[in-house]
Amino acid sequence: MDLQQELEQEACWKLELDKVTKLDPSKKKKKKKKRPFIREDATYDSEPDYGYAELLSRVFDMLREEEVSTERPRTVMMRRPQLLAQGTHITVCLDFAHLCTMMHRKPGHVITFLLGQMETKGWLNKQHQLEMKGLVSSQHFQAVFQRYIDAFVICSCCKSSDTALAEANGISTLSCEMMNMKLPPRRYTCKKMKDRLGFRFVLCSAVFMILTQHRALANSHGVNSEEEEWEMVQRKGQQFTLNGQPFYVNGFNTYWMMTLAADNSTRGKVTDVFQQASAVGLTVGRTWAFNDGQWRALQKSPSVYDEDVFKALDFVVSEARKYKIRLILSLVNNWNDYGGKAQYVKWGNASGLNLTSDDDFFTNPTLRDFYKSHVRTVLNRVNTFTNITYKNDPTIFAWELMNEPRCPSDPSGDKLQSWIQEMAVFVKSLDAKHMVEIGLEGFYGPSAPARTKFNPNPYAAQVGTDFIRNNQALGVDFASVHVYPDAWISPAVSDTFLEFTNSWMQAHVEDAEMYLGMPVLFTEFGVSAHDPGFNTSFRDMMLNTVYKMSLNSTRKGGAGAGSLVWQVFPQGAEFMDDGYAVYLTRAHTASKIISLQSKRLAIFNSLCGWRCKWGCKKKNHTALDALLSHDDEL
């Protein structure tokens, strides 16, 4: 390179420097105070010591002058496609027009891709719904739909969904704002472009430094950095995820925690539960966020609450957070214990209504409003221990609409379905961050007559619940199932309990994958010490059976998301024992089984990201293989 070329290049560098380093247009003449451009081959002994405010201002001034966008690529929040089978020959996508509108794509283009991928025929009906020949599973349809989004919606450069689709000569091309961004009319040599990219690197480093300073400042004022990492569990497809990793659940139930926390003499039992559960690796607990009109009632009458009991619930949530355990909070009971729907009916009659059935809870507008008011109060509650609003607290894993809802006065299931649809959307309208589940036992109903053979008895199909149909309601994030062969089949302990458990769990995992496209969590299971023929060895066999079935799905990355044993008790709480209690400090074999399952799931949760295949050879499976080999222990 001759001298003239070097001088020209140096002039270009200085021109770039003048553009990116000026802080105030009014100070153009004070060029001597500007920091010289840093060349790759130059070294400096020191640099200006900027303060926090000055450094922050400098960064944003540079961003504005460089016209570097600070906006994140816009994304489109899309709900899960709603499919409905019409007989055995037609499947309808009810919200197809809405999905196309959200993507800004012509329905004809979407239909051509979907039908070609699924190798079937289809058409738009008069309601602009997509009708497809044959039975199409929700999981398969969502997978094909996701492929369309990846190919024709998401920009491969900036990952933005704000794109346009252009077609020419039968070829479709994507364009977005970043692709169409107008650059300055000057020509840039490779060296100059490298300098611009270098500037962006320095700029990002400055932002990182500012954020680091800010975090250090926050920590100096008592903010725990570990608390900032306590994120919410989310659902992606048929898995739970946490920070991009799978989150399979080994959990427990202890329903009475709020009640005992309301009394200082028994509050310590709540801490004992979380401490012991954490010691064996349990990560999710389930408990009541209701007690309606009973002893130590949370809700003494509609919208009238006992603040001391509410503070007890605050304590339960804060202790769960302390031990890194997340909570499923149930909002009302189907049964009379702790008030339930029967108490709401009593309140309705006391206010002048003429209600004759507990199932009026699901249909009467006044009782629906009573329930909504309770939901609103709980979700908007500010925890007096943590100062975090419930609906913003990652400690809460999910909201449960009702514990074991049933509506036997309407075997068709229409009444309960209407209630679920209204309440799931209502909860989501107040809290879009947390997941919602119904609280079902898992009985199959009229919408899936071929699946009723898996029900434990004929009566189960007549209680107004419908596992597949109920969980297809908008706003429901995952399915729940209970496992109680002793309550549903026969109180006498026998091997049929284990056989039923295997078939019951397998059927629901299959349905969650084929029809629902969501995780299924077995939120209650156990066997009672009051059952004829009960012994702790059989209880341990029940634990083994449930854990094996759950693990079989986990190994495949399936929809079986985990299980919660009913229920964990500390010593000294025997007066609350319903026969199903597992005392971890003295049930040594059961504790080992639970702990081993926790270790296995913890390793699965750390193996891969959500989209990675479980057969990925990039990960070290040695520790997992060692645990999975102990089949005699599980």
Report residue 412 CA to chain centroid gap.
30
Cα Rg for the chain, rounded, in angstroms? 30
Kindly report the three-state secondary structure assignment for every residue of 487-505: HHCCCCCCCHHHHHHHHHH
Instruction: Determine if the peptide bond prior to 567 is cis (ω within 30°).
Output: yes
CA distance 320 to 31: 59
Instruction: Name the strand (E) or helix (H) holding 171.
Output: strand 171-176
CA-CA distance, 481 to 171, in Å (whole number)? 48
3-state helix/strand/coil string of 436-476: EECCCCCCCCCCCHHHHHHCCCHHHHHCCCCHHHHHCCCCC
E strands along 491-598, which residues? Answer: 520-525, 560-566, 568-569, 582-583
Q: Which one of 319, 437, 513, 524 is the catalytic residue?
A: 524
With CA atoms as reference, report the closest residue to 165 among 153, 157, 177, 156.
153
Are 417 and 467 a contacting pair, CB within 8 Å?
no
Question: Is-catalytic flag, 54?
Answer: no
Closest by Cα among 587, 556, 553, 574 to 565:
587
- The phi and psi torsions of 334 (rounded to 5 degrees) equal -75, -30
As beta bridge partners, residue 246 has 241
For 179: left if phi > 0, alpha if psi spans -120 to 50, otherwise beta; the answer is alpha
**Contact call for residues 25 and 70 (beta carbons, < 8 A):** no
Residue carrying structure tokens 């048929």: 238
* Contacts of 568 by beta carbon, 8 Å cutoff, 6+ apart: 252, 253, 254, 273, 276, 277, 282, 285, 581, 582, 584
Exposure class string for 54-66: b at 16+ Cβ within 10 A, else e = ebbebbeebeeee
Rounded-to-integer distance, Cα 191 and Cα 571, Å? 72
By three-state DSSP, how is residue 96 classified? Answer: helix
- Distance (Å, whole) CA 428 – CA 84: 22
Of 404, 437, 441, 513, which residue is the catalytic one? Answer: 404
Distance from C-alpha of 483 to C-alpha of 545, rounded to nearest angstrom: 11
Which residues are within 8 A (CB) of 221 and not within 5 positions of it... i.e. 6 or more apart?
none
Which token pair is 313?
Answer: 């619930």
Active site annotation includes 524: yes
d(CA 20, CA 61) in angstroms, rounded, equals 9
SS3 597: helix
Name the pairing type of β-strands 239-242 and 234-236.
antiparallel
> Alpha-carbon dihedral of residues 605, 606, 610, 612, nearest 10 degrees?
-120
Report the alpha-carbon angle 548-437-93, nearest 5.
100
Token pair, residue 454, equals: 């898996």
Could you list the active site residues? 404, 524
